[in-house]
Structure 1
Amino acid sequence: MVKGFKITMLIILFCISCIVKAEVDVEIRVNLAGYLPNMPKKALILSKEALTAPILLLKNKSGDLLKTYAAIPSKDPWPPFSYYYMVDFTDLIDKGTYYFELQNTAIVSKPFNIGSYPAWQEDVIGFIRTQRCGFNPHIKAYCHQKDGLSFFGIRPDSTQIDATGGWHDAGDQLKYLITGSNTTARMLMAYQINPKHFKDEFNDRGLKGANGLPDILDEAKWGLEWILKLHPKPNELYHQVADDRDHRGFKLPNEDNADYGWGPNSFRPVYFATGKPQGLSKYKSQAMGVSNIAGRSSATLALGYEIFSNLKGYETFAKTCLKAAKELYKMGQEKEGYQQGNSFGAPYRYEENTWADDMEWAAAQLYKISRKKNLLKDARNYATIIGTWSWMERDTTNHYEMYPFVNMGHYALWQVGSDQDKKQMIAYYKHNLDRIQKKADENPYGVGQLFVWCSNNLAAAVATQCMLFEAMTGSKEYRPLMQDHVNWLLGLNPWGSSMITGIPEHADTPTDVHMPFWRINKDTIKGSLVDGPIWSTILKKMIAIELSEPDEYLQLQPEHIKYRDDWMDYSTNEPTLDGSAELLLILTYLNE
């Protein structure tokens, strides 16, 4: 009797241990933010052992069973999970909060919503606001009031110029026209496409209080004003303030301890766009012109003119933007080619080497304003030069080599061109998206971005290009591709974590980020996109990356890519200015 009891108990304990082990080895992934009613919807089951005909039970937040879904095996799994099963529940259109349960287990998914997304684009704008240089509204203090002293320019080296303003680029406090121009343009485009989707809760200084201008335009104007400062005369353009000598640990912007030779928290170099290689130490940039930054800045200023010329009280500002846009377009024509970012003591820099897309963008925007036929001819010529050439054509790419990550020039030409132009621009976009779709078909998540540094920017770019393609054609062909990349950014990924700080609320999102406000004040800034997962082969070569604590995602890490929510991993967990701006168009779309 006792012996039989012991055997029975051993069997029970063994069965319990098997169930616990099975449940530890199985995960359910969903988009933590949820899905629009009319968009594709999928969930994934990740398992380390084969499952027999798995079934997901759809339940509401009260736990009531609503429907069952049979999961089908998915190809090309990513270890450490050897088996993936996909559930398509696109038929679910009723608004509400739901979760999945794996039949005959206690394994459940995180809850998700069906319905429009909240106005999270406002949180992105809020993050960009915290990156302001000059007067920083987050800490309510002035910083970098001595920016800066010019170098490589037509003025004698160390000549003081006014390059105050703009935004800090990431966790450091450098400022780049390369990224600042694109960030400004994305805000202007987001407003232009959906002007009713933005609030007015802050003034032009970034402080709480409405001022009659949507906050996205307050922030875009901050960017436009900085671009104008970097172009003080028709033959001058500066492209970068400070360099990696800034990297002296975390510090608040108003307490910058970086010393460029004039003492801590003092003057910083401002680099003139010469169109030639630059660098004050052993690391030299490549350059052969200025068309990328001149063209993109011209397009941005032209967008600024379009919007602010229709707002009472901003007519003079708008005209100033248009004048500068014309001058910078001419500069880009005279020095065709690209200007890269500068580094000093490390090999990392923005390695942009495309430029025709930026000039196409500028020409199309200026044609939209002036209707001068030579500008339309220019836009067509530049469009032909760049064609389909983008990171989407590549199996790998250098850091920011093909930037911006969406060719906005093609979209701008589609807006103003002939029927033939429209057809050609659509074909360019389609070619790129087909290449991404081919890569996406090779993995269960359905994503096709490259896992280089700032891979999340590329995922956001794919979603944006899908959205623009649909706007251009009316076709829903790439809606699944768009949704899969949105899903990836919002938790349907190996780690089950969103890649946007604080979004969605009450979910796993980046917390221990590579940012001074977090490291010094433990301030969590909502609305920033972190760099994202990176190929393991690249991560191994990154300089001075360690972890401050054990990796919380260790058991979930794929062999070929890694993501860590750790402030010491600047390659995967650092929020960036322009990466966050990449979210604006798609988040506004999802807020419909």
Structure 2
Amino acid sequence: MELPKKALVLSKTELAKPVLLLKKSDGTIVREYSGTPIDQAWAPFSDYHDFDFSDFKEKGAYYFELKGSSTASQPFRIGPYPAWQNDVVDFIRTQRCGFNPYTGEFCHQKDGLSFFGLRPDSTRIDATGGWHDAGDQLKYLITGSNTTARMLMAYQMKPGSFTDEYNARGLKGANELPDILDEAKWGLEWLLKLHPGPEELYHQVADDRDHRGFKLPHEENADYGWGPNSFRPVYFATGKPQGLSKYKSEATGIANLAGRSAATLALGYEVFSAIKGYESFAETCLQSAKELYAMGEKQEGYQQGNSYGAPYRYEENTWADDMEWAAAKLYKITKDKTYLKEARAYAKMIGAWSWMERDTASHYEMYPFVNMGHYALWQVGTEKDKKEAIGYYEHNLARIQDRANKNPYGIGHLFIWCSNNLAAAVATQAILYEEMTGSRKYRPLMQNHVNWLLGLNPWNSSMITGIPENADTPVDVHMPFWRLKKESIKGSLVDGPIWATIHDKMIGITLSEPDEYAHLQPDHVKYNDDWADYSTNEPTLDGSAELLLILTSLSHD
């Protein structure tokens, strides 16, 4: 795949016709490039120039030097993208709950006691397993379902791109199943536990009472009324507002969770039914997918995440995209045309509505950040269905492109909390659009958002721990493995920069040390590589999963 290449030169004084020298690692000059001035500029720099070197294709290690100056870039490589998708899977494995292979310890074995459900409150149910959501140890169906789905889709995209170095428990040792499927199966098994009966669906384990400082998973100190390291609440999806303290979620139904979980389980059926020895597991996934879809039909609407002592929660308020996704996947498997008819109805209901159409949005308001329902319907629908799905994606990407045209970095996502997820979503949607149309129209837009995540941004820092290698990447992250053990885990996407107007109002952020990016910080967007800034520097489960389709698509087979 031929991809565009660009460099930016930023200056606090005006540069007259700057020239970049492309040099090999030994200092040999191989090409000169003239810059194009960019009208837009972000403080503290007033002068921006863009350099396009897409014509240069010789593989190797290089750096740029500003002609007539000692100013030089960090070294970089030209060539195929490494198989970084395997590093992301490795990070997700470290987030396992129940048995954590990274620590080698069991944790949260008493998850949990049900609330708001069909069973009496405090009834014991088995909600062990799944993944810890971020730098804390909560577990959400909202994000766990999407994380599982992304792994299954990435495997379907390029099955040969994934390693087999770990077994089902997540411990070293091949087991003839790619590691990404070991991890996806871990997620599917947890989804099945949260749906223990045809009319039951649980959506969250624990709440922000967890936030009692950094601790390793097996050293849980949160007390939900039964003592530390004991039972935790498991919230039933009622389709109504919930909360055990003064902060209540909003809810109008459960179709976002039921639909997305159904789509994920249907993907599980597709993948595992083709692998010898997993046929029975695949059938269980399919049966649960059908049941959950039916539950979503009965309770159309959305269920949000629950908080307890703080106002922050996942504020998802869309659901038709999830039901479209599930209906399209179930039609593909069963050939039941009722599912296809319903997928079309849900597709028209959600249309092009997305965070991409907005100038701002609430936290996780329109989650997942890519409408996978349109892509799934494009895969199975008629020519008319395909044209409409493409049109929705085109409409979104055109809106992002309009914003990107007014931005010195060529990016158009929003700088709300977890902005890196949105940057990844733009790149993902552009990749899928190219698959659907064969058009390279949005390839530069895709690359600009990938570049942003890999370090072409005001801080000159990647937003992914340890990637690229030998570059400036997040280190001092809001994660217990770093704070307690000083161990950095490669392959996680941090939350990312947010508008200063949001950052300045976040509760409890005081940097632990002077800001190493103070001389680079724009006035209107903030990012800190500091464990005390949970709003910009916390690795997240689903944010990392957002990377998977991108890195899989770009990786060299």
Q: Same fold (TM over 0.5)?
A: yes
**Whole-angstrom CA distance in 2 between matches of 1:235 and 1:373:** 24
Tell whether the 8 Å contact from 2:454 to 2:464 is kept in structure 1 after alignment: yes
**Shift in Å at residue 168 of structure 1?**
0.1
1:241 to 2:205 alignment: yes
Aligned residue type for 2:345: N
**RMSD of aligned residue pairs (Cα, Å):** 0.5
Structure 2 distance, partners of 1:369, 1:104, is 63
Amino acid at match of 1:68: E
Counterpart in the other structure of 2:111? 147
Counterpart position of 2:473: 509
2:71 aligns with: 107
Unaligned runs of 5+ in 1: 1-35
AA of the residue aligned to 1:570: Y
Name 1:122's counterpart in structure 2. 86
Alpha-carbon shift at residue 414 of structure 1 (Å): 0.2
Worse-matched range after superposition: 252-261 or 107-116: 107-116
Q: Secondary structure at 1:377's aligned position in 2?
A: helix
1:453 maps to: 417
- Asked if 1:276 corresponds to 2:276, the answer is no
Give the aligned partner of residue 12 of structure 1. Answer: none
Is the aligned partner of 1:390 residue 2:354? yes
* Aligned positions, number: 556
Question: Aligned letter for 1:201?
Answer: E
Rounded Cα–Cα distance in structure 1 between residues aligned with 2:24 and 2:436: 37
* Aligned partner letter, 2:121: D
1:538 shift after superposition? 0.2
Whether the 8 Å contact between 2:97 and 2:129 is mirrored in structure 1 is: yes
Q: By how many angstroms is 1:114 displaced?
A: 1.1
Q: Does 1:403 align with 2:367?
A: yes
Q: Highest Rg: 1 or 2?
A: 1
Cα distance in 1, alignment partners of residues 525 and 531 from structure 2:
18
1:505 offset after TM fit, Å? 1.1
> What is the rounded CA distance, in whole Å, between the counterparts of 1:182 and 1:165 in structure 2?
16
> 1:423 aligned to 2:423?
no
| Structure-1 residue corresponding to 2:129 | 165
**Structure 1 equivalent of residue 249 of structure 2:** 285
Paired position in structure 1 for 2:178: 214
What's the counterpart of residue 483 of structure 2? 519
Corresponding residue of 1:24: none
Alpha-carbon distance between aligned partners in 1 of 2:251 and 2:373, rounded to the nearest angstrom:
21
1:94-133 CA-to-partner distances (Å, cap 9, x unmatched) read 1111111000000001111111111110110000000000
Query: Any conservation in 1 of the 2:157–2:553 contact (CA below 8 Å)?
Result: no
Q: What secondary structure is seen at the aligned counterpart in 2 of 1:556?
A: coil
Is residue 351 of structure 1 aligned with residue 336 of structure 2?
A: no
Q: How far does the alpha carbon of each residue in 1:122-179 deviate from its partner, in whole angstroms, 9 at most, with x for none?
A: 1100000000000000000000000000000010000000000000000000000000
CA distance in 2, matches of 1:154, 1:67: 69
Flag structure 2 segments of 5+ consecutive residues without an equivalent: none
Structure 2 residue aligned with 1:472, among 436, 443, 450? 436
Residues 1:63 and 2:21 aligned together: no
Any residues of structure 2 matched to 1:65-84 within 5 Å, and which? Answer: 65-84=29-48
1:314 equivalent in alignment to 2:278:
yes
Q: Residue 157 of structure 2 contacts residue 552 of structure 2 at CA under 8 Å; is this kept in 1? A: no
1:177 maps to a residue whose letter is L
The residue that corresponds to 1:225 in the other structure is 189
Shift of 1:363: 0.1
For 1:337, give the aligned amino acid. G
Q: Distance in 2 between matches of 1:75 and 1:311?
A: 55
Q: CA deviation at 1:63?
A: 0.6
Deviations 1:205-241 (A, max 9, x none): 0000000100000000000000000000000000000
Deviation at 1:578, TM superposition (A): 0.1
Shift of 1:75: 1.7
Shift of 1:571: 0.1
Cα distance in 1 for residues equivalent to 2:526 and 2:160 = 39
SS in 2 for 1:583: helix
Query: Helix, strand or coil for the counterpart of 1:582?
Result: helix
Shift of 1:76: 1.1
Report the TM-score when normalising by structure 1. Answer: 0.94
2: distance between equivalents of 1:590 and 1:232? 38
- Amino acid across the alignment from 1:221: K
Tell me the amino acid that sits aligned with residue 554 of structure 1.
Answer: A
Amino acid at match of 1:494: P
Correspondence 1:192 to 2:156? yes
The answer on 1:588 being equivalent to 2:531 is no
Aligned to 1:434: 398
Equivalent residue in structure 2 for 1:362, among 302, 320, 326: 326
**Alpha-carbon distance between aligned partners in 1 of 2:307 and 2:505, rounded to the nearest angstrom:** 18
Residue equivalent to 1:303: 267
What is the CA–CA distance in structure 1 between the aligned matches of 2:501 and 2:405, rounded to whole Å?
23
- Other-structure match for 1:26: none
Contact residue 397 and residue 426 of structure 2 kept, 8 A: yes
Supply the distance in 2 between the matched residues of 1:51 and 1:157 (Cα, whole angstroms).
68
User: What whole-Å deviation, never above 9, does each CA across 1:31-77 have from its counterpart, x for those lacking one?
Assistant: xxxxx7x1111100000000111000111111111111111101210
User: What is the aligned partner in structure 2 of residue 39 from structure 1?
Assistant: 3
Residues 335-346 of structure 1 aligned to structure 2 (within 5 Å): 335-346=299-310
The runs of 4+ residues in structure 1 deviating greater than 3 Å are none
Measure the CA separation in 1 of the matches of 2:117 and 2:311: 23
Is contact 2:99-2:106 (8 Å) kept? yes
Matched, 1:546 2:510: yes
Under a length normalisation based on structure 2, what TM-score does the superposition of the two structures give?
A: 0.99
* Among candidates 146, 150, 154, match of residue 182 of structure 1: 146
Q: How far apart are residue 586 of structure 1 and its match? A: 0.5
Q: CA deviation digits over 1:13-47, x for unaligned, max 9?
A: xxxxxxxxxxxxxxxxxxxxxxx7x1111100000
Judge conservation of contact 2:138–2:205 (CA < 8 Å) in 1.
Answer: yes
Provide the C-alpha distance between the structure 2 equivalents of 1:56 and 1:505, rounded to a whole number of angstroms.
24
| Secondary structure, counterpart of 2:519 in structure 1 | helix
